[in-house]
């Protein structure tokens, strides 16, 4: 793969960083297009998006530190790995939601309105961002000999994220990139605003199911909960499914939102 898009002297432009930025811009573009239909100002949404992104980045790395605490407190080298790492997406999602709750209270935007508008946009950003993970080599899969297995050979990828070289692996990054792209399309194509929170609940359920399944094919260290067989993300995915069901049941009993 190509973890470094450009390398001139001591200057390195990581492919992951570029694709992460593109993913954010794509998500923000789609959110601006959806804002008016949900009764929100595109300009206000842009401002919120930037702060929510920053909170998401902090949250993703914070959860990674919590999950891999012994590793990240051992040396300065481990701290450098943390700066280069993508973090844990669920930590980013939690951080983004917390920031959104705080910010929309100041802007007086209904939480579920923003959540419904943003759900497909988050999935789009994830799809592009996971291509960045694939380029960097992080979030790699288990060893496999299926026809579509990928083999990393770039020493920079091993040096930066620890991916094993010369070993055929499940392309779990591409699994999630394709899965979240499909999720984005389905959320938009079959969106029905019968009640506030419906689209967000669908996203939460769909992504939790997708992520929980892909975790079975992951080979990188990412922490466990309850038993070695259950990863941290799988545990959160189960909570996500339960939360999605709870949101769906609770919100469906409330009055239907006014249509734009």
* pLDDT confidence bin for 260, thresholds 50/70/90: very low
Contact indicator for 79, 72 with CB cutoff of 8 Å: yes
Angle CA 163–59–175, to nearest 5: 45
Task: Taking residues 94-104, report their average pLDDT.
Answer: 82
Tally of CB atoms within 10 A around 108:
6
CA-CA distance, 64 to 49, in Å (whole number)? Answer: 22
Contact indicator for 87, 64 with CB cutoff of 8 Å: yes
Return left, alpha or beta for 76; rule: phi > 0 is left, psi -120 to 50 is alpha, else beta.
alpha
pLDDT for 202: 96
Contact indicator for 44, 150 with CB cutoff of 8 Å: no
Task: Using the predicted structure, report yes or no on whether residue 47 has a pLDDT greater than 70.
Answer: yes
pLDDT for 259: 44
Among the listed ranges 38-52, 106-120, 157-171, which one has the minimum average pLDDT value?
Answer: 38-52
pLDDT for 121: 94
Q: Per DSSP, which regions of the chain are E strands?
A: 4-8, 11-14, 150-151, 168-169, 224-225, 227-231
With H, G, I as helix, E, B as strand and everything else as coil, classify residue 8: strand
Q: How far is CA 253 from the centre of its chain?
A: 30
pLDDT for 162: 86
Joined together, the tokens standing for residue 214 give 């892909």
The residue ranges of every structural domain in the chain are 4-192
Q: What are phi and psi of 229, to 5 degrees?
A: -80, -10
% of the chain residues with pLDDT over 70: 85
Task: Using the predicted structure, report yes or no on whether residue 59 has a pLDDT greater than 90.
Answer: no
């Amino acid at each position: 793969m190509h973890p470094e898009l450009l390398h001139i002297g001591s200057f390195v432009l990581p492919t992951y960083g570029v694709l992460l930025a593109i993913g954010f811009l794509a998500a923000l573009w789609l959110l601006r297009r959806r804002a008016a239909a949900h009764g929100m100002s595109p300009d206000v949404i842009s401002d919120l998006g930037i702060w929510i992104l920053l909170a998401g980045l902090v949250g993703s790395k914070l959860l990674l530190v919590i999950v891999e605490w012994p590793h990240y407190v051992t040396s300065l080298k481990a701290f450098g790995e943390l700066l280069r790492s993508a973090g844990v997406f669920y930590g980013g999602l939690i951080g983004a939601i917390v920031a959104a709750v705080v910010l929309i209270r100041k802007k007086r935007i209904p939480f579920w309105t923003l959540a419904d508008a943003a759900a497909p946009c988050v999935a789009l950003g994830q799809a592009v961002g996971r291509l960045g993970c694939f380029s960097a080599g992080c979030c790699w899969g288990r060893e496999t000999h299926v026809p579509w297995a990928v083999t990393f050979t770039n020493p920079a990828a091993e040096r930066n994220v620890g991916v094993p070289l010369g070993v055929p692996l499940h392309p779990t990054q591409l699994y999630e990139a394709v899965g979240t792209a499909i999720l984005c399309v389905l959320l938009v194509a079959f969106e029905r605003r019968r009640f506030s929170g419906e689209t967000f609940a669908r996203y939460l359920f769909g992504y939790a199911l997708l992520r929980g399944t892909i975790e079975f094919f992951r080979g990188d260290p990412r922490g466990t909960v309850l038993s070695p067989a259950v990863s941290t993300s799988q545990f959160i995915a189960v909570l996500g499914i339960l939360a999605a069901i709870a949101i769906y049941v609770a919100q469906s009993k409330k009055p239907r939102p006014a249509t734009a």
